[in-house]
Amino acid sequence: PPTACGLCQSPEQAPPPTGQDCPQAPAASACGKAQQPPRGPWPIAWEEGPRRHGHGVHLLRVLVLLWSLPGIPQTWDDNWGETTTAVTGTSEHSLSQEDIVRITKDLEDSVGLDCRRYFTLTLAVVLGLLVFLTPLAFLALPHLLWPDKLLVCGTACEGLFISVAFKLLILLLAVWALFFRAPRAGLPRVFVFRALLAVLVLLFVVSYWLFYGVRILDSQDENYQGIVQYAVSLVDALLFIHYLAIVLLELRQLQPAFSVSVTRSTDGETRQYNLGQLSIQRAALAIIENYYRDFFVHNPALLTASKSRAAKHLAGLKVYNVDGEFPATPATGPGNNAATGLAHSQSRAMIAAAARRRDTNHNELYYEEAEHERRVRKRKARLVVAVEEAFTHIKRMQEEEQKKAPGDVMDPREAAQAIFPSMARSLQKYLRTTRQQHCHSMESIQQHLAFCITNNMTPKAFLESYLTPGPTLQYGRERWLARQWTLVSEASVTSGLKEGAIFLLKCIDFSLVVTVKRIPYIQLSEEFIDPKSHKFVLRLQSETSV
């Protein structure tokens, strides 16, 4: 039974227990001595060395593993009373999974952005109403204000009425098509082209109203046909402004002009995309949407190996200054040269010692990787066989048979639940070996199995989503760990993309580094070859000297 010493974490690679259980009494006092435990992915605690005692529950594992029992190794360290601990650099910067979840929740609860959305929405609605009602007002006001003085205008006006009606209808449909779409993202700065267009429309409508007010309302013009033509010209101009909107907002960035290269900072996966002339924030949006589709899902479990190697490098050598002062943060000043000199010599000594030490890390890595590969392949073979066998237990029933034998008929979900246990164990082992077990819950696997059975998929098709990591879209929404992205850029985010621009898209776990290059100007020339000109002869007399 585990002891109550819950503060400290025991590492995965702890040496095997010496056979003694952690006694109750010393555990409490030992824990009192212990310093703040480092919280992070499990190998971090490894280098702390002598502090391993009691039992530790890995917080990270409990949160994400749904099938396995949390590992509760018990190690008893004989030297717990006599050791000192040193806090290494890595443990100060690690976050536990708890922190990560907490931060995400905080961010999602923020409300500041919504106010801006509603503001822009109301502005757009007001502008739209103004635009649509203005021509109708132009046409209706003379009839309301001075109906007796108006000249009767016959077929010409009626023709113009029809054209105004249809043009307004077309404008309505066009505006609906272009602007009435669910917003797909919240960008940090205002969208420059939209703002310009809104200002243009407003100025335009206001100037028309001014003219109308001064020249027609004040003077009570009798020429109704002229007024109708004025309204028609307004609608025409609005249609042209809408054309301008299409060109600026939609068409201009279709032609590719830049090639951006996106690299994920944690594992270096890189893709290239072609973008048109966009502002940096719109380019960032396009890149993020492509990221969810193209990049393999971010799996932090795959990075622990390199972190543990790095930790071992650091842990190998520790420099202790036994003579007294700590060369802490160097203050400026002439009397400080000694301290910086000390720090320099320390680092140089460390580097020299590290070089001299017979480092067999590469050897370990090579054999470890070969071993891991072999294990993965073995598990994969077992898994494939198990799944194929499981699928043979199920047969699809035809319509006529269904009526004849309603006994053991199952719907896809039940069928999936029936055959799942036979493959569950090998699938679980395979996922553990490839460190994907937190991406797939049992529920999601059964759902996927039911889906495959319904759609007559083969076992290979069912397995494909587990054998290779897929894009982030493939996994459930809870895997989309970050929907809050931060754009870090030296240039203003509303400025356009330029050759050599670099900006970062940060989310909590990783960041995407984006480099922009211009697509070169291509000079294409033509060459005409007459099909009759393909003639051949034997090789020219060649001469060889002997």
* CA 103 to chain CA mean position, Å: 17
**Strand order in 486-489's β-sheet?**
270-275, 258-264, 511-518, 502-506, 486-489
Angstrom distance (rounded) from CA 52 to CA 265:
32
Q: Counting contacts by CB under 8 A, is residue 535 touching other proteins?
A: no
Nearest distance from C-beta of residue 537 to other proteins, angstroms: 6
Write out the H or E segment, with its range, that includes residue 516: strand 511-518
Our finding on whether 537 is near other proteins (CB under 8 A) is: yes
Distances, alpha carbon 70 to alpha carbons 108, 140, 253, in Å: 30, 77, 52
Minimal distance, residue 269 CB to other proteins, in Å: 52
Q: Given phi > 0 = left and psi -120 to 50 = alpha, else beta, which region is 333?
A: left
> Of the two residues 456 and 541, which places its CB atom closer to other proteins in the complex?
541
Taking the complex as a whole, the smallest distance from the CB of residue 545 to other proteins amounts, in Å, to 4
**Sign of the CA dihedral with 315 first, then 319, 324, and 327 last:** negative
Of residues 88, 85, 17, the one with CA closest to residue 53: 17
Where in 227-246 is the site for other proteins (CB under 8 A)? none
Q: Give the range of 91-99, 103-111, 400-408, 533-541 binding other proteins by CB under 8 A.
A: 533-541
Q: Which bin fits 340, alpha (ψ -120 to 50), beta or left (φ > 0)? A: alpha
The CA radius of gyration of the chain, in Å to the nearest whole number, is 36
What is the C-alpha separation between 114 and 92, in angstroms, rounded?
35
Strand partners, 258: 275, 518
Q: Is 398 in the site for other proteins (CB under 8 A)?
A: no
Q: Near other proteins by CB under 8 A, which window of 200-208, 243-251, 441-449, 531-539?
A: 531-539
Considering only 152, 405, 524, 540, the residue that binds other proteins (CB under 8 A) is: 540
Should residue 536 be labelled a site residue for other proteins when binding is judged by CB under 8 A? no
Under the criterion CB under 8 A, does residue 544 sit at the interface with other proteins? Answer: yes
Could you tell me which residues are beta bridge partners of residue 54? 75
Q: Are 209 and 133 in contact (CB under 8 A)?
A: no
**Minimum CB–partner distance for residue 536 and other proteins (Å):** 11
- Give which of 8, 56, 92 is closest to 311, Cα–Cα: 92
Q: Which stretch binds other proteins (CB under 8 A): 77-85, 351-359, 522-530, 534-542?
A: 534-542
Contact flag: residue 539 with other proteins (CB under 8 A): yes
Cα(436)–Cα(428) distance, integer angstroms: 9
**Shortest Å, Cβ 535 to other proteins:** 13
Q: Which of 84, 456, 533, 542 binds other proteins (CB under 8 A)?
A: 542
For CA atoms 17, 23, 24, 30, give the dihedral sign: negative
- Helix ranges restricted to H, 65-111: 89-92, 97-108
Of 63-71, 441-449, 455-463, 535-543, the segment contacting other proteins by CB under 8 A is 535-543
Nearer to other proteins, 110 or 545 (CB): 545
Whole-number minimum distance, CB 534 to other proteins, in Å? 18
Stretch that binds other proteins, among 28-36, 130-138, 309-317, 532-540 (CB under 8 A): 532-540
With respect to other proteins, which residue has the nearer C-beta, 82 or 543? 543
Q: Under rule CB under 8 A, how many of the chain's residues touch other proteins? A: 10
DSSP letter assigned to residue 270? E
| Binds other proteins by CB under 8 A, chosen from 25, 405, 524, 546 | 546
Pick 403 or 535: Cβ nearer other proteins:
535
479 closest CA partner among 467, 470, 487, 489:
470
For other proteins, which is the closer residue by CB, 113 or 538?
A: 538
Using the contact rule CB under 8 A, the part of the chain among 235-243, 445-453, 454-462, 537-545 near other proteins is 537-545
Q: Which is nearer to other proteins, 527 or 543 (CB)?
A: 543
Give the span between the Cα atoms of 506 and 519, in whole angstroms: 26
Total residue length of the chain: 546
Q: Across the chain, which distance is largest between two alpha carbons, in Å?
A: 117
| Rounded-to-integer distance, Cα 303 and Cα 43, Å | 11
Q: Which stretch binds other proteins (CB under 8 A): 143-151, 337-345, 393-401, 536-544?
A: 536-544
What one-letter code names the amino acid at 268? G
Closest to other proteins by CB, 111 or 546: 546
CB of 317 to other proteins, least distance (A): 59
Per-residue contact flags (x/-) with other proteins for residues 481 to 520, judged by CB under 8 A: ----------------------------------------
Query: Binding segment for other proteins among 95-103, 150-158, 465-473, 538-546 (CB under 8 A)?
Result: 538-546
545 binds other proteins (CB under 8 A): yes
Residues that bind other proteins (CB under 8 A): 537-546
